């Protein structure tokens, strides 16, 4: 922001009062002069008048923009020097989210392809619970037998559509490790999503503070006054300062 200061000094020389004090001994004139000086001193005290003439920004809009896209509220307030950090963090978290999702999908697809080769299962139309059971049981028969013993008949698999039979326990273990690794990778998405929420909250608060600062300082006119006096309660003049900032 550029501040341009225009200073106007107005000096009122009370020649009549000084002349009256020097050439006359009339006590009434002297008392009148002293009374006038005291009244001026009491009245002309330093004061500041501020008038906002700039384009006032809405704090509510800056918060809303920040919630939609971190950094947008700062751009609206003309403070993208700060908003660029929030925008950069948002881009980084989106890239991280896509990266985690892509890597998780790759691990999941590889594990299921491995299971198809080494257990003979059909990957079409199967949910996550099915693959969890595939990783815990060597065959569909051992799984179904356990459910029959527990009386959980609604959880039995049709061996024609949900068949599997691992070549070895080692192959089953390799698949289960890959499956669990893909699940842990997917869980990382929660970190990035939480980070996006926090970034929006902090960005909104920052935009609100900076918008208020911009509104308080942009386009203002300040008027201040000072009084000059000499010993003896004599006022020599008044100084008026006009400060224009924009």
Query: Within 10 A of 151 (CB to CB), how many other CB atoms are there?
Result: 7
What CA–CA distances, in Å, run from 158 to 41, 95, 141, 168, 174? 102, 42, 10, 22, 25
Query: pLDDT of 119-131, one tens digit each?
Result: 999 999 999 999 9
Query: pLDDT of 129-188, one tens digit each?
Result: 999 999 999 999 999 999 999 999 999 999 999 999 999 999 999 999 999 999 999 999
Q: Is the pTM of this model over 0.75?
A: no
Query: pLDDT of 190-220, one tens digit each?
Result: 999 999 999 999 999 999 999 999 888 755 5
User: Would you state the pLDDT for residue 16?
Assistant: 45
What CA–CA distances, in Å, run from 151 to 87, 121, 124, 164, 171? 56, 25, 28, 22, 29
Q: Where are the domains of the chain?
A: 3-54+219-245, 79-200
Q: Average model confidence (pLDDT) for the chain?
A: 79
Name the β-bridge partners of 51.
221
* Among candidate residues 207, 220, 205, 177, the one with its CA nearest the CA of residue 81: 207
Predicted confidence band of residue 56 (pLDDT cuts 50, 70, 90) = confident
DSSP letter assigned to residue 226? E
């Amino acid at each position: 922001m550029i501040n341009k200061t225009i200073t106007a000094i107005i000096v009122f020389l009370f020649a009549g009062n000084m002349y009256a004090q020097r050439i006359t001994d009339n006590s009434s004139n002297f008392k009148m002069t002293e009374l006038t000086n005291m009244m001026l001193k009491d009245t002309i005290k330093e004061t500041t008048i501020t008038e906002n003439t700039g384009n006032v920004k809405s704090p509510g809009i800056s918060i809303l923009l920040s919630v939609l896209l971190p950094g947008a509220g700062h751009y609206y307030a003309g403070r993208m020097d700060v908003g660029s950090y929030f925008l950069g963090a948002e881009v980084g978290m989106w890239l991280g989210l896509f990266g985690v999702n892509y890597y998780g999908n790759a691990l999941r697809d590889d594990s299921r392809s491995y299971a198809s080769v080494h257990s003979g299962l059909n990957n079409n139309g199967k949910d996550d619970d099915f693959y969890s059971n595939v990783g815990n049981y060597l065959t569909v028969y051992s799984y179904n037998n356990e459910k029959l013993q527990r009386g959980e008949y609604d959880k039995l698999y049709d061996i024609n559509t949900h068949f599997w039979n691992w070549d070895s326990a080692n192959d089953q273990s390799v698949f289960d490790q890959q499956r669990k690794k893909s699940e842990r990778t997917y869980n990382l998405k929660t970190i990035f999503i939480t980070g996006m929420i926090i970034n929006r909250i902090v960005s909104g608060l920052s935009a609100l503070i900076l918008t208020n600062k911009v509104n308080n300082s942009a386009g203002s006119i300040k008027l201040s006054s000072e009084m000059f006096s000499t010993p003896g309660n004599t006022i020599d003049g008044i100084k008026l300062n006009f400060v224009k900032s924009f």
